[in-house]
């Protein structure tokens, strides 16, 4: 079963072939209206369930559009409207949905929910974000980096702020695609040691640097994300903001990095918090290419899920 659960659970050759496919399909669509079907229709006659237990703009829209471009049909389900939100087990939900649909994408809270769904589903399952990781995002990010700067292998990626789910998937990316990764942020918000150790073991240089200005020196890519994720308690907001303020990505930090550094953010962003508008809308930012590439990368992921 070709589940797409995490970047570290999919082998590097498959990940690379997915990105190659994503670029081919993207290039073939240049200039066409968004609703134009792709030349080939790998999801023809396929039904895809998109389950959301958390809010979403990009994931929801890009999966929905992508399925339609590839000839399939979608059904967008909100966790709270399903019996899943009212006590039905995830295992039973998986068994039932597998009788109706050919592919399931889920955005949920606990990683356990995703893993249990995948264990009991008899159709492929895609991780559309959990509290712990966000693999589709990083596939789009690597695609975006390589469009602008060529192969990411050996490049220096710097994560500024909270070592959260998106950061974790970046570390998986370092492990599988061979780039170096520097985390700069407070000690209490460092990424899980397990993820850093795995990337190091695979040969990536993984550094934790408390000083953001030192961290970004020579960076090829600087990445920020919200200081308070959807699963974080709002009661931690003020403390997190106080801790994370020194790690804001602003013009001074980008200048310390140098002109070669790109800026990415998975979005949604909180302008003037984790990043200033001057950086988001500035010449080094590729945030909207990054958002667009969610569509292309996920289409290639879905194609691999159903066809191998």
Q: Containing H/E element for 208?
A: strand 206-208
Catalytic option among 134, 172, 265, 296:
134
- Contacting residue, 2, 21, 59, 130, with ligand CP by CB under 6 A: 59
Pairing of strands 103-107, 47-52: parallel
Q: How many helices (H) and strands (E) in the chain?
A: 12, 9
Phi, psi (deg, nearest 5) at residue 187: -55, -40
* Residue 57 interacting with ligand CP (CB under 6 A): yes
List all residues 6 or more positions away from 131 whose beta carbon is below 8 Å from its beta carbon. 109, 110, 111, 165, 229, 231
Q: How far is the CB of 102 from ligand NVA (least distance, A)?
A: 26
Q: Is 172 a catalytic site residue?
A: no
Contact criterion met (CB below 8 Å) for 178 and 202: yes
Q: Give the nearer residue to ligand NVA in terms of CB position, either 144 or 164.
A: 164
Q: Is 137 a catalytic site residue?
A: yes
Choose the one of ligand CP, ligand NVA, none that binds residue 144, judging by a C-beta under 5 to 8 angstroms depending on kind: none
What 3-state class would DSSP assign to 227? coil
Interaction pattern, residues 3-42, with ligand CP; x per rule: CB under 6 A: ----------------------------------------
Supply 308's token pair: 């191998």
Q: Is 305 a catalytic site residue?
A: no
- Contacting residue, 8, 56, 69, 93, with ligand CP by CB under 6 A: 56
Choose the one of ligand NVA, ligand CP, none that binds residue 164, judging by a C-beta under 5 to 8 angstroms depending on kind: ligand NVA
Binding residues (CB under 6 A) for ligand CP: these are 56-59, 129, 137, 266-268
């Amino acid at each position: 079963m070709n589940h797409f659960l995490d970047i570290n659970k999919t082998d590097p050759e498959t990940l690379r072939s997915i990105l190659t496919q994503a670029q081919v399909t993207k290039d073939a669509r240049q200039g066409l209206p968004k609703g134009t079907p792709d030349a080939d229709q790998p999801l023809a006659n396929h039904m895809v369930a998109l389950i959301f237990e958390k809010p979403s703009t990009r994931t929801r829209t890009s999966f929905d559009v992508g399925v339609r471009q590839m000839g399939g049909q979608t059904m967008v389900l909100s966790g709270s409207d399903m019996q899943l939100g009212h006590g039905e087990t995830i295992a039973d939900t998986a068994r039932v949905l597998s009788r109706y649909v050919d592919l399931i994408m889920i955005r949920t809270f606990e990683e356990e929910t995703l893993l249990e769904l995948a264990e009991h589903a008899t159709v492929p399952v895609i991780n559309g974000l959990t509290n712990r990781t966000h693999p589709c995002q990083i596939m789009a990010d690597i695609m975006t980096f390589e469009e602008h700067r060529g192969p990411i292998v050996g490049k220096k990626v710097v994560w500024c702020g909270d070592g959260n789910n998106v950061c974790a998937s970046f570390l998986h990316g370092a492990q599988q695609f061979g780039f170096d990764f520097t985390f700069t942020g407070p000690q209490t918000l460092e990424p899980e040691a397990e993820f850093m150790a795995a990337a190091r073991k695979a040969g990536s240089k993984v550094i934790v640097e408390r000083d953001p200005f030192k961290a970004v020196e020579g960076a090829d890519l600087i990445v920020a994300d919200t200081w308070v994720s959807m699963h974080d308690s709002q009661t931690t907001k003020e403390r997190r903001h106080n801790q994370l303020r020194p790690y804001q990505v602003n013009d001074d930090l980008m200048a310390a990095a140098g002109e070669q550094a790109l800026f990415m953010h998975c979005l949604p962003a909180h302008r003037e918090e984790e990043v200033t508008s001057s950086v988001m809308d500035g010449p080094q930012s590729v945030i909207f290419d990054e958002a667009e590439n969610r569509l292309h990368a996920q289409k290639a992921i879905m194609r691999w899920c159903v066809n191998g």
